[in-house]
A = this chain, B = another copy of it.
Amino acid sequence: MPNQMTEMLKGTLEGIVLAILSERSAYGYEITAELREAGFADIAEGTIYALLVRLEQKGLVDVERVPSEKGPPRKVYSLNASGRDQLAEFWSTWSFVATRIEQLRHTDQQHTEGA
């Protein structure tokens, strides 16, 4: 049984990456490092690459190969119009779910006060 985090990231990680890409274009290795710095230390490297491939297949991002000074060429991803739509949809779904969960937490807090 993997940890909660793993399961909770299902469905949110894609949105997280889309949000990162909406700020600026980036490549896989970079995104992975950024996530680690942001506190998501346990996200496997392979996971991000696989996710990026999926984003590309779904046509949400554009890709450009850029040579790197140290290592193989980078695949730089940038959000396109479709991706922006998808991101907007993600925020909408997120708001919906987050709002309802927060409501549950507040009624729940009355039972777990002090825990």
Contacts and interface: CB of A to CB of B under 8 A. Distances in A.
Contact of A88 (B5, B23, B112): B112
9 contacts: A4-B93, A8-B93, A11-B11, A20-B104, A22-B108, A23-B107, A23-B111, A39-B100, A88-B115
A115 B88 CA distance: 8
Contacts of A96: 5, 39
Interface of A: 1, 3-12, 14-16, 19-20, 22-23, 38-40, 58, 84, 87-91, 93-94, 96-98, 100-101, 104-105, 107-108, 111-112, 115
A98 B98 contact: yes
What is the interface of chain A mostly: helix, strand, loop, or mixed?
helix
A111 B22 contact: yes
